């Protein structure tokens, strides 16, 4: 009995010390500035918060992709692909790879990938058309996702790798457009928006083995009274959670959603409740 009590006290003490340590952390707000202009917006952040990317105006009033680091304390203009503008939308977990959109010499918007080691933008190309943009990047920066126009001028979601280049992810059956917005940490799962045969926007998930699936179909049991998932903007590193926006029939409005694709088994919930009860009883001894 004494051993049990001592273990519980040790656990309680560890929790208290953890809370004290956490309380010792200081909250902070850092304004990142601009590139000489009068406006900036941040769209991505590294896992540890030390690197931020986005878009800012320079002194000439041009929009430029930026990368800000806590160590440097200032924005770095990532340049363009020969044109006048660029914007950064995503950054790898370690902050070393940035993706977004930049104009080339012909004024066409192209998806780019920038690396800290290379220091230059890489044009990721298109799918036969003249426009593309990158929105998401895997944890190590090796996989990039976004959309690109094909020869017919249609938007298609893409997944880019250094080895395979740009791969079109297709559309939903009967649909004519798709756009990728997010990718899992390992680059294996892509999420975004695609039109269905009726031309309606639908949130999708893509995998190499299963292709593109309509989340409204896969999780139909979770959608009631005509609710719809219109687009998926991001997926958690472990692929479990998907976020985006859709139509909530209960409120008759567009709303953000969080989709848990792997609900906890009832047996694990019961086990967790049992352990909590056991700890409480022991704590009273």
List the CATH number of the domain containing 225: 2.120.10.30
Q: What is the mean pLDDT of residues 83-94?
A: 97
Is residue 248's pLDDT more than 90? yes
Which residues are CB-contacts of 281 (< 8 A; sequence separation ≥ 6)?
none
The answer to whether the beta carbons of residues 125 and 102 sit under 8 Å apart is no
Task: Quote the tokens at residue 74.
Answer: 């200032």
pLDDT digits (tens, 9 = 90+) for 55-73: 999 999 999 999 999 999 9
Is residue 265's pLDDT more than 70? no
Is residue 181's pLDDT more than 60? yes
To the nearest whole number, what is the mean pLDDT of the chain?
A: 88
Angle separating helix axes 2-23 and 266-283, nearest 10 degrees: 100
Confidence of residue 26 (pLDDT cuts 50, 70, 90): confident
The answer to whether the beta carbons of residues 134 and 86 sit under 8 Å apart is no
Dist. CA 84–CA 231, nearest whole Å: 30
pLDDT value at position 263?
72
Q: Is residue 92 part of a domain?
A: yes
Q: What percent of the chain has pLDDT over 90?
A: 81
End-to-end alpha carbon distance in the chain: 9
Confidence of residue 13 (pLDDT cuts 50, 70, 90): very low
pLDDT value at position 275?
59
Is residue 24's pLDDT more than 70? no
Dist. CA 158–CA 147, nearest whole Å: 5
pLDDT value at position 272?
54
Q: Is residue 23 part of a domain?
A: no
Q: Is residue 200 part of a domain?
A: yes
Confidence of residue 88 (pLDDT cuts 50, 70, 90): very high
pLDDT digits (tens, 9 = 90+) for 117-145: 999 999 999 999 999 999 999 999 999 99
Confidence of residue 224 (pLDDT cuts 50, 70, 90): confident
Task: Quote the tokens at residue 212.
Answer: 């593109």
pTM value is 0.83
Q: Is residue 69 part of a domain?
A: yes
Is residue 112's pLDDT more than 70? yes
Q: Is residue 17 part of a domain?
A: no
Confidence of residue 113 (pLDDT cuts 50, 70, 90): very high
Q: Is residue 163 part of a domain?
A: yes
Is residue 4's pLDDT more than 90? no
Which segments of 45-131 does DSSP mark as H helices, in order? none
On the CB side of 193, CA atoms within 13 Å amount to: 15
Task: Quote the tokens at residue 42.
Answer: 């941040």
Dist. CA 39–CA 29, nearest whole Å: 17
Q: Is residue 30 part of a domain?
A: no
Q: Which domain holds residue 150?
A: 35-283
pLDDT value at position 70?
95
pLDDT value at position 23?
46
Is residue 114's pLDDT more than 80? yes
Phi, psi of 32 (to 5 degrees): -90, -10
Question: How many domains does the structure of the chain reveal?
Answer: 1
Strands 201-207 and 121-123: unpaired
Q: What is the mean pLDDT of residues 229-243?
A: 96
Q: Is residue 199 part of a domain?
A: yes
* DSSP codes, 69-82: ETTT-SEEE---BE
Task: Quote the tokens at residue 35.
Answer: 């590139």
């Amino acid at each position: 009995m004494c051993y049990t009590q001592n273990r519980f006290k040790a656990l309680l003490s560890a929790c208290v010390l953890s809370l004290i340590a956490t309380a010792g952390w200081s909250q902070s707000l850092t304004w990142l500035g601009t590139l000489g202009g009068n406006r900036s917006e941040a769209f991505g952040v590294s896992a540890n918060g030390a690197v931020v990317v986005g878009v800012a105006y320079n002194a000439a009033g041009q929009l430029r992709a930026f990368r800000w680091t806590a160590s440097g304390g200032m924005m770095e203009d990532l340049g363009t692909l020969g044109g006048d503008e660029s914007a950064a939308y995503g950054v790898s977990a370690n902050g070393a790879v940035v993706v977004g959109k930049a104009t080339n010499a012909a004024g066409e918007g192209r998806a780019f990938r920038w690396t800290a080691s290379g220091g230059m933008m890489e044009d990721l190309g298109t799918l036969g058309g003249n426009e593309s943009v990158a929105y998401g990047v895997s944890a190590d920066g090796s996989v990039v996702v976004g959309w690109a126009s094909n020869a017919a001028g249609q938007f298609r979601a893409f997944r880019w790798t250094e080895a395979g280049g740009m791969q079109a992810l297709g559309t939903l059956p009967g649909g004519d457009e798709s756009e990728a917005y997010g990718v899992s940490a390992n680059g294996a799962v892509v999420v975004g928006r695609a039109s269905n045969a009726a031309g309606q926007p639908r949130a999708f998930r893509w995998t190499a083995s299963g292709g593109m699936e309509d989340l409204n179909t896969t999780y139909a049991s979770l959608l009631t009274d005509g609710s719809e998932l219109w687009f998926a903007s991001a997926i958690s590193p472990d692929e479990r959670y998907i976020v985006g926006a859709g139509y909530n029939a209960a409120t008759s409005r567009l709303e953000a959603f969080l989709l848990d694709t792997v609900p906890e088994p009832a047996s694990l919930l019961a086990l967790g409740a049992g352990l909590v009860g056991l700890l409480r009883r022991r704590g009273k001894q």
